[in-house]
């Protein structure tokens, strides 16, 4: 038995779609309970974006998803973070959540749990790898054990096509105007990342 938490932030829905694929993958592993939770939005952002249809529609889609709490992190044996690229690194909303977990860090409560990151960017070279690698820095401070997405199981990465996926984690390209959808190969790799973390978390928990 092991619990997998998928905390994600998604302004326009791409990370949300990837998160659901990660969830599917984790659920495929026997004895796994999965919880998908959204990172709290800033009130200022809600206000500024309230007249932007793509944002409003994407938020509606996520209405049913509960907001992430610190108790969720304690509950989890494995944590898979959904982190869209903001200037080549994580959004402030995600950093705020991580910063609010200082009490758990102080007690070492997350040490030894499995973790992974999936991301999304506007353009192919807009910072998917830098987002995952810079997200890894605070995750290591928490003592989490990083799980990547190796080529062997993810031959889709061996391409010159404009899709996501790297040894660092699953990803997708949203398009400069956000109008692209995750490629089926992106979703497949996201699913495999979910299964992989679930397998590792189960072994670590036992
Ligand atoms: C403030 C801001 C900064 C961004 N910075 C980048 C960036 O550095 N590189 C990039 O390719 N896309 C960038 N984007 C585009 C987002 O990565 C893209 O909208 C996101 O991946 C879509 O995921 P979502 O639909 O789940 O929100 C940025 C978007 C915003 C709003």
DSSP string, 14-66: HHHHHHHHHHHHHHTSTTEEEEEEEPPPPHHHHHHHTT-HHHHHHHHHTTTSP
Its pTM stands at 0.98
Pocket lining: 18 vs ligand 1, CB cutoff 6 Å: no
What pLDDT, on a 0 to 100 scale, did the predictor assign at position 206?
81
Q: Is 85 in the pocket of ligand 1 (CB under 6 A)?
A: yes
Instruction: Compute, in angstroms, the gap from residue 180 CA to the centroid of ligand 1.
Output: 13
pLDDT in tens, 171-199: 999 999 999 999 999 999 999 999 999 99
- Quick one: which of 99, 89, 171, 201 has its CA closest to 136? 89
Q: Is the CB of 120 under 6 A from ligand 1?
A: yes
**Distance from Cα 130 to the centre of ligand 1, integer Å:** 13
Q: Which residues of the chain have pLDDT under 50?
A: none
The verdict on the CB of residue 95 being under 6 Å from ligand 1 is no
Domains and CATH numbers, the chain: 2-205 (3.40.50.360)
Which ipTM score applies to this complex? 0.99
């Amino acid at each position: 038995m092991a619990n997998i938490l998928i905390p994600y932030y998604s302004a326009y829905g791409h990370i949300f779609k990837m998160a659901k694929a990660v969830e599917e993958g984790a659920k495929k592993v026997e004895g796994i309970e999965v919880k998908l939770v959204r990172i709290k939005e800033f009130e200022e952002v809600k206000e500024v974006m309230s007249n932007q249809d793509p944002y409003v529609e994407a938020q509606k889609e996520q209405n049913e998803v509960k907001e992430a709490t610190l108790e969720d992190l304690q509950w989890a044996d494995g944590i898979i973070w959904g982190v869209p690229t903001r200037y080549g690194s994580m959004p402030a909303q995600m950093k705020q959540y991580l910063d609010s977990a200082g009490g758990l860090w102080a007690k070492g409560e997350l040490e030894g749990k499995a973790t992974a990151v999936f991301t999304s960017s506007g353009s192919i070279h807009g910072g998917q790898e830098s987002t995952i690698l810079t997200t890894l820095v605070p995750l290591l401070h928490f003592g989490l054990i990083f799980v990547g997405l190796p080529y062997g199981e993810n031959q889709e990465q061996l391409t010159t096509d404009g899709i996501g996926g790297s040894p660092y984690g699953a990803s997708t390209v949203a398009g400069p105007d956000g109008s692209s959808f995750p490629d089926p190969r992106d979703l497949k790799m996201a699913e495999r990342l979910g299964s992989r973390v679930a397998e590792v978390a189960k072994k670590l928990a036992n």
